[in-house]
C-alpha cells in the first residue's frame, strides 16, 4: 500500500505544474487566489470559502476541470506530498466539476467543506486543483494543474506537542569573513494539528547591543503533524545586484570584496537568539548560538590606511615640532642681539 501511494505521488507530481507561494498561483494562463486557505470547524458542520479564478489567456475561452488530493509532509522542506484522496479532507470538499472562463475573465467559485460528524480532531490537509484536462475514472490526467492548499483544523481535543529541536548556522559554520550568515532551525511537531511558529532572530554584537532583528518564519510555513521542518534565516545587510559585473582580475576582485564587506560591515563575535511563540496557548521556545565575523580583506585595507595616516601624521607632527623649536630659538636669539647693539 505504501509503495502504491508513493508511486501515485511521484507520477502525480511529475505531470502537474503547481506553484504555492504567498502571492497568486499561475499555470497555463490561470491565476488562482488565495494560494492557501486555513480554516477550522466543528464535526458535522459545513464551511464555505471563495476561490477566485482568472483566465490570463488572450487566446479565448478555456475550461478548467476540478480535482482534489490529500497531501502530507515530504522531507524537511515543507513541500507537500500529494496522495490519492480515498478519504479524509480530499473527499469532503466540493467546488463543482468544471468552470469555463472567457479570455481575461475572472470568476469566484464556492468551495464547500462538509466535515463528517465522526471526523477526528486535529489537522486535515488537501488541495483543490484546476486543470485543463479532466480526470478519467480516478486516473491521473496529463496536463497542467494549479491549485489552492486547504488546511483544516477540526475542533476538539487537539494535541500540541513537540518544539524546537535544533538551532545552528548552516553546516555548523563558526567563522565567516563577511555576511550573509545563514542560520537554520528545525521544528518537530508531535501533535495532531499543524503548527506555525512565529518569532524573531535577534543578532547582538560583542557589547550585547542588538544590531538586527530577523523574521524567523518569513514564509509563514506550517509544520504538519508527526513531521519535522527545516527553516532558513539569513542575516544580510546588502545584496549584490543580479546583473553586477564581476571583475576577473585579482586586484579588481579583491577590492570588490572589500567594497562588499564594507556595505555588509560586521566584525567580531555575535550572538544569535531565536525566540518563537506557537500554538493556541502561545507557548514559547528559544535557543542561542555564537558565531564570528572576520572580514580580513576589509581589515587589511583599514590597517594599511591607518598605517599611512599614522606615518604621514607622525611626519607632519615632527615637522611642526621642528618649526616650533626653530621659531623658539629665533625668538630667544633676537633679544640678545638687540641688547649687544
How much is the average pLDDT of 312-323? 88
Question: What pLDDT does 339 receive?
Answer: 54
Q: Where do the domains of the chain lie?
A: 2-154, 162-294
Task: Name the average pLDDT for the chain.
Answer: 87
Residue 338 has pLDDT above 60, yes or no: no
Q: How would CATH label the architecture of 2-154? A: Sandwich (2.60)
Question: What pLDDT does 149 receive?
Answer: 95
How much is the average pLDDT of 304-325? 90
Highest mean pLDDT: which of 20-34, 140-154, 274-288, 325-339? Answer: 274-288
| Segment 272-312, tens digit of pLDDT | 999 999 988 888 999 999 999 999 999 999 999 999 999 99
Domain 2-154 and domain 162-294 have a common topology: yes
Q: What is the pLDDT confidence band of residue 232, given thresholds at 50, 70 and 90?
A: very high
Angle at 170 (CA atoms; ends 239, 265), nearest 5 degrees: 35
How much is the average pLDDT of 12-26? 39
The span from the CA of 75 to the CA of 186, in Å, is 12
In our burial notation (b when 16+ CB lie closer than 10 A, e otherwise), range 117-128 reads: eebebbbbbbbb
Percent of the residues in the chain that have a pLDDT greater than 70, as a whole number: 87
Question: How far is residue 326 from each of residues 95, 308, 315, 321, measured CA to CA in Å?
Answer: 98, 27, 16, 9
Better-scored residue on pLDDT, 228 or 16: 228
Q: Judge: domain 162-294, CATH 2.60.40.3880.
A: yes
Helix axes 250-263, 296-340, angle to 10 degrees: 90
Q: What is the pLDDT confidence band of residue 136, given thresholds at 50, 70 and 90?
A: low
The span from the CA of 58 to the CA of 102, in Å, is 9
| Segment 71-102, tens digit of pLDDT | 999 899 988 899 999 999 999 999 999 999 99
Question: What pLDDT does 96 receive?
Answer: 94
Q: Quick check: pTM over 0.85?
A: no
Amino acid at each position: 500500500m505504501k509503495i502504491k501511494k508513493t508511486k501515485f505521488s511521484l507520477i502525480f507530481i511529475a505531470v502537474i505544474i503547481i506553484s504555492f507561494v504567498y502571492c497568486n498561483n499561475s499555470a497555463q494562463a490561470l491565476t488562482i487566489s488565495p494560494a492557501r486557505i486555513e480554516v477550522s470547524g466543528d464535526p458535522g458542520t459545513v464551511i464555505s470559502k471563495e476561490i477566485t479564478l482568472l483566465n490570463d489567456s488572450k487566446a479565448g475561452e478555456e475550461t478548467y476541470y476540478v480535482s482534489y488530493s490529500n497531501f502530507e509532509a515530504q522531507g524537511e522542506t515543507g513541500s507537500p506530498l500529494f496522495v490519492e484522496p480515498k478519504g479524509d479532507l480530499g473527499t469532503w470538499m466540493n467546488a463543482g466539476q468544471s468552470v469555463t472562463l472567457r479570455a481575461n475573465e475572472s470568476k469566484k467559485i464556492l468551495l464547500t467543506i462538509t466535515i463528517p460528524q465522526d471526523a477526528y480532531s486535529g489537522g486535515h490537509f488537501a488541495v483543490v486543483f484546476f486543470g485543463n484536462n479532466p480526470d478519467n475514472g480516478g486516473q491521473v490526467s496529463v496536463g497542467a494543474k494549479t491549485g489552492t492548499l486547504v488546511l483544516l483544523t477540526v475542533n476538539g481535543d487537539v494535541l500540541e506537542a513537540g518544539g524546537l529541536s535544533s538551532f545552528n548556522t548552516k553546516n555548523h559554520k563558526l567563522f565567516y569573513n563577511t555576511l550573509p550568515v545563514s542560520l537554520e532551525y528545525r521544528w518537530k511537531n508531535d501533535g495532531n494539528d499543524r503548527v506555525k511558529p512565529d518569532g524573531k532572530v535577534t543578532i547582538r554584537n560583542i557589547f550585547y547591543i542588538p544590531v538586527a532583528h530577523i523574521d524567523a518564519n518569513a514564509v509563514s510555513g506550517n509544520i504538519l503533524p508527526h513531521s519535522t521542518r527545516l527553516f532558513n534565516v539569513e542575516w544580510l545587510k546588502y545584496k549584490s545586484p543580479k546583473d553586477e559585473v564581476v571583475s576577473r582580475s585579482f586586484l579588481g576582485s579583491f577590492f570588490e570584496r572589500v567594497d562588499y564587506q564594507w556595505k555588509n560591515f560586521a566584525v567580531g563575535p555575535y550572538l544569535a537568539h531565536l525566540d518563537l511563540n506557537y500554538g493556541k496557548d502561545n507557548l514559547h521556545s528559544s535557543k542561542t548560538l555564537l558565531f564570528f565575523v572576520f572580514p580580513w580583506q576589509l581589515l587589511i585595507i583599514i590597517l594599511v590606511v591607518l598605517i599611512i595616516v599614522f606615518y604621514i601624521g607622525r611626519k607632519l607632527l615632527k615637522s611642526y615640532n621642528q618649526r616650533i623649536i626653530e621659531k623658539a630659538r629665533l625668538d630667544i636669539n633676537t633679544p640678545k642681539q638687540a641688547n649687544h647693539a
